[in-house]
Structure 1
């Protein structure tokens, strides 16, 4: 579960900065890297108040195949930025300030992206805990993963969860929605993640779901989906139980992926495992029913070219519902 910090008034800027420092220290960041993260969050939070009408900031660890570090996701529903490129140049300002905010974020980040339109602005910034491996020794990675999971308003525990792992040239991804809300739903989701993480590299998505079905019998149960992508082979396998929404968006078509009826841990009559071709440039998006089933990329031109964490953040901002835990995870193939 992630807990975005709401920034609607000036005292919350300091709260967001303190949280960034805390995450940096937990990651073992040096004073210099922790300072970078604190500056990014401070500038982002200040901009939220000045230009975005308030918003949220999520600061969390990230782990890619070749680097780890701290990720900052900033979301607002303001009027958007008329000229994103100009806004990142020092001295550019539409609010009578020195105009150092977005330029400062860019300088302090090892990686950053902005997506903005009339629905609002989203900023992704990353500070690496270590430099990437030299190109000669670095694994070839074409798949990037990002997601966002939030609890029902007023709840501390989240019944949704997701995870990913690389094994033997394959990317494994799962999404789980424990029935109901609160601690018992979270317990079911965490148990399903434990089964997923412990699964053999030779297992299939349907075998993982069967193992989770056995393990979750002492819980209230969950709906769950498992996907395995083998980019070198151009192969993709998927299986789901219950109302997990999944879309495979390839350069040639968009396909909704079917799940079978049932509840993991209670009633599973059959598991239907499907295999598809994974094309360069494809994208997989999975969401729980905390997001509207009508979510679409169509109203967000250019969003698919962004990092999966930014894509997930924008879709979560625009399509999550206030009456449920809400989770979306995006896998993107960068070969296209």
Structure 2
């Protein structure tokens, strides 16, 4: 669960900068990396106020197949930029400033992406790669990238939603869980489901994971849950879901909703139906809780599916969150050419 910081006033820029430095320190990153994160957040937060009418900034650690780092996501619902190539040039400004923000972010970041357009708002993803190595653990070449966003209901500190991924024997496992209701008890149910997911045997199936979670969650208020196991080398994935987790497979621009069965994990599950689907290069799998409108799609966001999954998830979360519930979306994308 992450809590994006609101940046609607110049006084909140300093708060966002201090938070970025704290994230780096808390997760054991170097002072240099923390300073770079603080610089990017300062530039992005200033742009939110100047050009976006305010927005949110999310700073968090990330883990890839061979390294870790810090990820910054800045989102606004402003007018957007019609000429991104011009806007990213140092010296360009529409507010009389020096116009160093986007160019500075690009120079400091290890990688960055921007999604914007006239009347589409602006979303900025910046990543800072650390020197922390991650043991490959027999993983294949990384074709799959993942990004997500999970936020609590406004006014709540605990989030009843959760998502997780893990690599097991050349397959990427992904789950999304929504504990019933809100607050600490919903969060307890979701975290228990994640524990079962993380501890599942390497030869377990989505059916096995949900069945085990159903037993483990009987002492909680229950949850809805979906699990997918993607095998990029074999070109297939297995999926099972119970309850109203919305799961969409996007291939060649076409969106297909995958069916889940009715029920509540830990309370009432009559059937767990696992199905297998083909997985092709360029495929996108997105799982979301009912904190996002079930009508979400990419039709109104031209070019978004070509962006990093973290940026895709951030934009969809921004534009389709209901605002009255915990809200989570996780996106898996196949980057094979």
Q: What TM-score results when the alignment is normalised by the length of structure 2?
A: 0.97
SS in 2 for 1:42: helix
Q: What is aligned with 2:9?
A: 9
Shift of 1:167: 1.1
Go from structure 1 to structure 2 and tell me whether the alpha carbon gap of 1:132 and 1:215 turns closer, same or farther (over 3 Å shift): closer
- Counterpart of 2:149 in structure 1 is 148
Alpha-carbon shift at residue 132 of structure 1 (Å): 7.4
State the 4+ residue runs in structure 1 displaced beyond 4 angstroms.
none
User: For the Cα contact (< 8 Å) 1:13–1:46, is it kept in 2?
Assistant: yes
Tell me the distance in 1 between the aligned counterparts of 2:58 and 2:78: 17
2:126 aligned with 1:125: yes
**CA-CA distance at 1:29 after TM superposition:** 1.9
* Equivalent position of 1:113 in the other structure: 113
Structure 2: give runs of 5+ residues left out of the alignment. Answer: none
Q: State the partner residue of 1:74.
A: 74
How many residues of Structure 1 are paired with residues of Structure 2 in the alignment? Answer: 334
Instruction: Give, in whole Å, the separation in 1 of the partners of 2:24 and 2:225.
Output: 32
Aligned equivalent of 2:45 = 45
**Would you say the 8 A contact 2:140–2:170 is kept in 1?**
no
Distance apart, 1:139 and its partner CA: 4.5
Task: Provide, for residues 200-247 of structure 1, a one-character-per-residue CA deviation record: whole Å limited to 9, x for no partner.
Answer: 110000000000000000000000000000000001110000000001
Map residues 170-185 of structure 1 onto 2, 5 A cutoff.
170-185=171-186
CA deviation profile, 1:157-195 (whole Å, cap 9, x unmatched): 000000001111100000000000000000000000000
Deviation string 1:245-304 (CA, Å, 9 cap, x unpaired) is 001111274321000000000000010001010011100011000000100100000000
Q: Distance in 2 between matches of 1:70 and 1:276?
A: 33
Partner of 1:59: 59
Correspondence 1:267 to 2:292: no
- Rounded Cα–Cα distance in structure 2 between residues aligned with 1:168 and 1:281: 21
Distance 1:252 1:274, change over 3 A: farther
In 1: Cα distance, 2:59 partner to 2:292 partner: 21
Structure 1 equivalent of residue 316 of structure 2: 315
- Pairs within 5 Å for 1:1-336: 1-117=1-117, 118-130=119-131, 139-251=140-252, 253-336=254-337
Distance 2:29 2:132 in 1: 13
Residues 27 and 69, structure 1, Cα contact 8 Å, conserved in 2 = no
CA distance in 1, matches of 2:184, 2:47: 35
Q: Is the 8 A contact 2:139 2:167 kept in 1?
A: no
Instruction: Kindly indicate whether the alpha-carbon contact (under 8 Å) linking 1:66 and 1:138 is maintained by their aligned counterparts in 2.
Output: no
**Greater shift in the superposed pair: 124-133 or 89-98:** 124-133
Note the residue ranges of structure 1 that are not aligned, 5 or more in a row: none
SS at 2:12 equivalent: helix
Q: CA deviation at 1:32?
A: 1.5
TM-score (norm 1): 0.97
